[in-house]
Structure 1
Amino acid sequence: MDFFNRTGKMALGSRLRLLTSKVTEDAAKIYELYNVDFSPKWFPVFFILSEDGEKTISEIAEQIGHSQPSVTKIVKEMAAAGLIENNLESKDKRRNVVDLTEKGVKISHQIIKVQCADIDLAIDGMISEANHNLWEALAEWEFLLEQKSLLKRVQEQKKLRESKDVKIVPYEAKYQSAFRSLNEEWISNYFEMEEADYKALDNPEEYILNKGGKIFVALYKDEPLGVCALIKMNDPEYDYEMAKMAVSPKAQGKSLGSLLGNAVIDSAKELGASKLYLESNTVLKPAINLYHKLGFEKITGRQTPYQRCNIQMELKLKD
């Protein structure tokens, strides 16, 4: 159809619904062809009962991938048509189950043994005429969407596209206010500013850059919306610390944190660091998840100047 050629893959759902509508419309007529008073939407429930016998509503729902309310509604409709007996006592008398009536069993022979065989052959004929096997493709798509939803895939593409508008640049004096405000925003939101914060944020040149450290700024469409520092440590075990990472809430989801973290790690490697250290708080779950993705692992037993710190981590840069 020209409409779908114009919309492209954006209208995948609409195209699938249209195809489903065509198939379902024909399915209703096929039941009429075989003189069976039957609704196509009943078939999944009907098939399970005809093959397996009595089942609970929840068991049926799990097997056919429907919700329990959906199955309950279908069962009521089928019971009204005389095909199903509802609220039966199971053989072990511990559960309420549903099962086919004599009428349902009789119709199952017509549908499952005769009608389904004709339909299978008709569909096999279509598959042989087509360039692509739709039945196998559906199984592949179901598997792929089970592994990762379409929503998740679109989110990843959105993040990738937006990350292309991000530039990581070295710190300049003009970014001092952004360096301070971005950090002060998240610290004040969760904790209280401490003396060590004021020293580093008010005088980054003196307390970070002049001591051999670096600061990186993430520009999104040329606006400074993320920062992170690589601080030189006077410590026999660690050369540098990753610190003062902050990303504006309006830029979250655009990979600024990941890009900043990787810039700091790459810089530490270039400076010959063997290990990288950081301090954080477990209430900052997105940040902790990011650090894990970057390769940091939890350590214990070190002193910290920050009251808010309840987790310490390290990243080994050399074997």
Structure 2
Amino acid sequence: MTAEPVDARTVETLVADAVAAPSQHNAQPWRFRYLRDIGVLRLYADLMRTLPHTDPQQRGLHMSCGAALLNLRVAAAAAALAPVVRLLPEPGYPDLLAEVHLCGSSPPDTALALLRPAVGRRHSSRHPFQDEEIPAAIREGLCEAATAEGAQLLFPGGWHVRSVLELVREAEEWEVQDAGVRDETARWAHTEPPGAQAPSDGIPAEAFGPTCRRGDAPVRDFAAGRPMPDRPRASFERTPNIALLGTADDGPVDWLRAGQALERVLLRATADGLVASVTSQPLEWPDLRWAARDPLSAMGHVQMVLRLGHGPEGQPSPRRPLDDVLDIV
């Protein structure tokens, strides 16, 4: 480690990039604390922002915080820093998810630094995409991005894509019948138009995307049956480009790695001119999650379903003020 700790203003810049990461329902379940005397930035789970009905095991929380950690590493590399990361550094404190020593002695990761411009451009797009395949070279690059973070990205064949989309539809039906899940979605997904006191978290109505004109859309409908009279309708692609992100094992450290892999894939996709949306519906139900994996692949546990393609960029979602998520002591 180098002796000179990073100054507070640089840390604020790094964390501002970190919190641009996606999170389940845009709950933003993270907190950061910078110990300036020793140059260590700690990432904590914000347990006041859990989703007990949608995410009872907190798998999604860990993935969201892992995505924020990847953004932090990207921003640090772009600032010519070489952070050293320890995941779950203190077993007795499970809400301490990572400890980042910002002053590592290795050269900065240039591959990560190149992703920095994509951090602010990456937004989930729930609009229709073009009905065309993603070129093989781009798919290969996305798979490499996942592998670099200890995960696997798989583009399943046609029969498996149809199976996954059926799981999404089945999960939506289960959600309709579960009052706890419905109420939790309604808490975080805001159907009302934005106003002067718009919340700094959750999913705004303008980010929902259009409703599907016919059939089923390959995206989550955050309105969940609530009326939105001015919401447009559109036809979605018939053969969406679906990818599965997975890991060999399925514990908290694997979820953190999967979150980092997810964000690295999304940033790489953004840099390659793609847009993306993610869906976790079939993975939120244990009876459906096991069926999402490809039995012919070596992927042990599916952690996220991605939809990728060319299409309109998504709307940015709000973010909490930096003072709410960062303490400097």
Give the alignment's TM-score, normalised by structure 2.
0.21
Which structure features the higher share of helix residues? Answer: 1
- Name the structure, 1 or 2, with higher relative contact order (CA <8 Å, separation 6+): 2
